[in-house]
Amino acid sequence: MGPQHPSTHGVLRVVLKLDGERVTGSECVIGYLHRGVEKIAENRTYQQFAPYVDRMDYVAAVSNGLGYCEAIEKLMIVEAPPRARVIRTILTELQRIASHLLWLGTHALDIGALTPLFYCFREREEILKILEKYCGARLTTHAFRIGGLQYEAYDTFEKDVERFCKDFETRIVEYETLLTNNRIWIGRTKGIGILTKEDAIAFGVTGPVLRASGVKWDIRKAAPYAAYDQYKFEIPVGTTGDTYDRYLVRMEEMRQSRLICLQAIENIPAGPILAKVGKVLKPPPGEVYHAIEGPKGELGYYVVSDGSVQPYRVRIRPPSFINLQAFDRMVRGHLVADVVAIIGTIDIVLGEVDR
Amino acid sequence: MQAVIQATIDFLKLYWAPLLCGVVIVAVLPLIVGYVVLVERKLMADMQARLGPMRVGPHGLLQPIADAVKLLIKEDIIPEDADKLVFWLAPVFSVGAALLAIGGLAFGPAFQIGVNLNIGLLFVVGISALGIFGIVLGGWASNSHYSLMGALRSAAQLVSYETAAGMALVSGLLLAGTLNIKSIVEAQGSAGVWFGFLAPVAFFTYLVASIAETNRAPFDLPEAESELVAGYMTEFSGFRWSLYFLAEYTNMIVVASVATTLFLGGWLRPFAGIHWFTLKGLNGLDLLDLFPPLLILAVAAYCILRVPRQPTRVQQMFMLVVAGLCFVVALVLAGPVLLPVVKPAMAEAVKPFYAGIHGGFWFIFKVSAYIYFFMWLRFTIPRYRFDQLMRLGWHFLIPLSIINVLLVGLSLIVGSYYHLQGWALLLATTPAAILGLVAALIILGIEQKNRVRQEAVTAAGFYAG
């Protein structure tokens, strides 16, 4: 299957070993979108590399930027001011909702439901409009700067976010009426692509895929970054770790993200948006690993500095790449039609897998 | 030479009417299908909070023509390793069967394109089932994995669901007592009740089976784009592809017409046997007869209201022309109803016109409603997996339809024993329908239990291995 197949979400190629229509083995062939992002980092200054991370998980650019900026801040022992951190949190949570919406739409489309896609895109459009108003770009936003924010929030920022969150509550119900109790949807997702708790941990998968298997692990709670320690939210977990559970977990995560946004806009502290960092960044020699909870899982940056203006090495831990390793375990014993559902449920972005 | 010409003339003299009908079918149906597609796209857009085709003509009204032209002038690609003859033949076969089936249908008491066959329904069902050969051959001839899988799925699906559909038709035919299309409708007219009410389970079974037969969502596995790219059509492009497309939508019209004829009273007006709305004073004017012209008038009024919102003058003119056409159609529909009121003497002369025009309207109305239901389903629900589809067919629909044939037969025996006629027959058939429903639930329960057991076994096998 692939790399040019309508439902491999980009350019994933899957070699399947079949017994009739039943899958007995599989191998993912990746690299069609390899751009050498990590190598590029070694030839750019710290600021110059920031836009490149947006191009990895291109449906969740804000989260990528947050992870990178915070990693460098950690390396330089600088802290972003409170106002910047709250706005970062809001934008990242909006981005999480947008990313999950894109996943829901395409996943449903793979399983044959045409309409949710357009509903999801309608709401995603609202989020992209907010991002566009904030920083002028919709997808590859480059919204943050090392040390804080480049832009002040625009005048009606809070109002826009609030209106979106108010509307979004009923919109989620709309998607759920189309899918959650639908017999066909349940038949296509329940018991499909089961990943047990032990397997999930052994494969190192993170994010909704891990939580659906019943592991309560979320970096926002475990090692709070940005302003997450100020807000109350739940970590939804699944029980069986099948495709249906992953669906439910992501739906609940969207609700929780909405709650975080609502809490955050209530009280955005005043103050500067950029910490004192020089025009030329020269972090002290050393190394740092910083991970955030991206929409797809643990997004980690391991940065080594040799004291110059360019990083010595940047290693990125992309959640999609590692979650994809569990694909073979999930797909064995299922039918070809389920392969499509399972690729969808892992929620991969090939830009991030191949980097 | 002379003899040949003479024979040709004799042939034409004898068969000019069917030949003309054939030409009409081939010429008009693609246009109708084009507009069915446009309506589908518009409906889909409406349900998905967007506009749909808007560029070609006002509200995209000329889109089908643009699409047709595009498809016709596209490059004709035949894969290198394809079986060229079969590849060429397959779509033609498919579309031929679909168009032939239309010939057996009757759209009104006086309007039948083909001949009034005494085995009309059997002919239509049989011929339309032949179209599957086109699909299987096409899938085989393209020499591609996706095509072959799509074709095989299609064949398996048709075999499974044709059985259920056939059994459902048998239940209806038990009530009608004839295979002749016109007689079936007349039987419903004289009974005063549509067979869909007398045999609701059969109607439901046919509804589901007919969706599967025409390869429509949620049973569109032969062309499931997320799995098989485009199924049996993957290697076809341009004109050949459009032939398959034409066949698919023609088949939709065929199954909708069959369901309308057998279960929804064909061209009969709803409440034909009830005279509550008949006005005594106005020479037997029935208010329900005014529904068709008023509906068309409403469309005309909508078009006129939209005129000021059209961006260009051409589009405004076009909108007015559409409104004018609607107005003419409304007049034609209203004429036979209103003329007897004005001139009682003309009542008799107008009757055949009334039957023909209003019959045609109601038939098209019901067929449209049926197709609308198909489309609605397609936009709403996800797709079945292939094994689930087969299980639904063999474990649920086929047993249900067989049990239902028995139940309908029994209820008819009971009915004739107590001399029940028309609506009174519902007394006998309703318990049968309820029994059918109970049977359906029991079958579903058994099926569920079996599936859970079977899936546990399979999963255990694979995880152990």
pLDDT band at B282 (very low <50, low <70, confident <90, very high): low
- pLDDT given at position B380: 82
How far from B121 is each of A171, B259, B346, CA to CA, in Å?
Answer: 47, 11, 36
pLDDT at B464 over 60: no
| Shortest Cα distance, chain A CAs vs residue B264, angstroms | 28
Contacts of B238 (CB under 8 A, 6+ apart): B71, B72, B74, B75, B76, B77
pLDDT band at A3 (very low <50, low <70, confident <90, very high): low
pLDDT digits (tens, 9 = 90+) for A262-271: 888 888 888 8
Q: Give chain B positions within 8 Å (CB) of A167.
A: none
Closest CB from A114, A122, A340 relative to B49: A122
pLDDT digits (tens, 9 = 90+) for B86-109: 888 888 888 888 888 887 777 767
Q: Which residue has the higher pLDDT, A147 or B326?
A: B326
How far from B81 is each of B113, B230, B238, CA to CA, in Å?
Answer: 41, 19, 19
Q: Which residue has the higher pLDDT, B288 or A344?
A: A344
Summarize the confidence of residues B190-206 as an average pLDDT.
82
- pLDDT given at position A172: 87
Length of chain B in terms of residues written: 465
pLDDT at B329 over 80: yes
pLDDT digits (tens, 9 = 90+) for B59-89: 777 888 888 888 888 877 777 777 778 888 8
Q: Give chain B positions within 8 Å (CB) of A114.
A: 44, 48, 217, 378-379
| Shortest Cα distance, chain B CAs vs residue A323, angstroms | 20
pLDDT digits (tens, 9 = 90+) for A77-117: 888 888 888 888 888 888 889 889 988 888 888 887 888 88
CA distance linking residue A12 with residue A10, whole number of Å:
6
pLDDT digits (tens, 9 = 90+) for A312-354: 888 888 888 888 888 888 888 787 778 888 888 888 888 788 7
pLDDT band at B465 (very low <50, low <70, confident <90, very high): very low
Q: Which residue has the higher pLDDT, B283 or A110?
A: A110
- pLDDT given at position B284: 62
- pLDDT given at position B316: 82
Mutate to test the interface with A, among B41, B225, B381 (most CBs of A within 10 A): B381
CB contact under 8 A, A337 and B224: yes
pLDDT digits (tens, 9 = 90+) for B366-420: 888 988 988 888 888 888 877 778 878 887 888 888 888 888 888 888 777 777 7
Q: Hey, how many other C-beta atoms are within 10 angstroms of the C-beta on B66?
A: 15
Per-residue burial over B238-266, b = 16 or more CB atoms within 10 Å of its CB, e = otherwise: eebbbbbbbbbbbbbbbbbbbbbbbbbbb
pLDDT at B463 over 50: no
Q: What average pLDDT does chain B have?
A: 79
CB contact under 8 A, B229 and A5: yes
Per-residue burial over A221-244, b = 16 or more CB atoms within 10 Å of its CB, e = otherwise: eeeebbbbeebebebbbbebbbbb
Q: What percent of chain A has pLDDT over 90?
A: 0
> Which of A64-73, A176-185, A271-280 shows the highest mean pLDDT?
A64-73
Closest CB from A5, A122, A184 relative to B382: A184
Look at strands A311-317 and B106-108 and give their pairing. unpaired
Show which residues on chain B lie within 8 Å of chain A, measured between beta carbons: 44, 47-50, 217-218, 220-221, 224-227, 229, 378-388, 455, 458-459, 461-463
Q: What percent of chain B has pLDDT over 70?
A: 87
pLDDT band at B456 (very low <50, low <70, confident <90, very high): low
Q: In whole angstroms, how large is the CA radius of gyration of chain A? A: 20
pLDDT at A274 over 70: yes
- pLDDT given at position A305: 86
User: What is the pTM for the complete model shown?
Assistant: 0.79
* A64 and A91 Cβ atoms separated by less than 8 Å: no
CB contact under 8 A, A115 and B386: no
* Residue among B277, B453, B251, B460 at smallest CA distance from B371: B251
Q: Is B2 helix (H, G, I), strand (E, B) or coil?
A: helix
Q: What angle do CA B123, B128, B131 make, to 5 degrees?
A: 140
pLDDT at B462 over 60: no
Closest CB from B50, B226, B384 relative to A110: B226
CA distance linking residue B336 with residue B353, whole number of Å:
6
> A146: left (phi > 0), else alpha (psi -120 to 50), else beta?
beta
**Which residue is it, tokens 């409009």?**
A129
Prediction ipTM score = 0.72
Summarize the confidence of residues B217-231 as an average pLDDT.
66
